[in-house]
Structure 1
């Protein structure tokens, strides 16, 4: 779009939208269900919760989740193949991180929702 004379130029918002208008069709719903299936395993969800706090190594994730390294590695491989986590090399270490902010918010909301259910704390809108 072009700007009217004397008006401010069109600009993209400084911060991208957190919510995108979508119409759920079969492909979108299946993709969303696949993401939720990956979150539906307690160890994977714990690993993702840790990554919601920031990038971590396998050693850090293993210690935080309290699982053997082989177990953490197997779950991280599934999460990587599903596109939920990214990796980068830092010397001899592989650093894991969440793929995007939508996933960070989804994980935090999922854990907070469960906390409300367990504690009976009133919900908020």
Structure 2
């Protein structure tokens, strides 16, 4: 039992990890993240691709950016969004492997 106590993830980290999964738990946000896993996109591109209003996409992007799941860069008047780092892509890849695994 002592080894478990020693290796437990600290409570602050548990809360932060839980928050990431909460954000990714929304299908609209997950679709956006899945698209950004493929290519950097602007709000208009995401809106057209997801068939969500510009304001709806902007709201989701704000939440994803606040959680450090995505990042943005400005090019002229456009802002392009991409995954924040390789860790996010790894999370998605692992989850996808898990979902597609049939227990073999």
TM-score normalised by L of structure 1: 0.70
TM-score normalised by L of structure 2: 0.83
Structure 2's unaligned 5+ residue stretches are 1-6
Query: Residue 55 of structure 2 corresponds to which residue in structure 1?
Result: 70
| Alpha-carbon distance between aligned partners in 2 of 1:110 and 1:94, rounded to the nearest angstrom | 28
- Which residue, out of 32, 41, 45, partners 2:17? 32
2:79 maps to 1:99: no
Q: Across the two proteins, how many residue pairs are aligned to each other?
A: 98
> Aligned-pair RMSD on alpha carbons?
1.9
Q: What do residues 76-108 of structure 1 show as CA deviations (whole Å, max 9, x unaligned)?
A: 011111221111101111000111101011123
Structure 1's unaligned 5+ residue stretches are 1-21
SS in structure 2 at match of 1:63: helix
From the two aligned structures, give the one with the greater helix fraction: 2
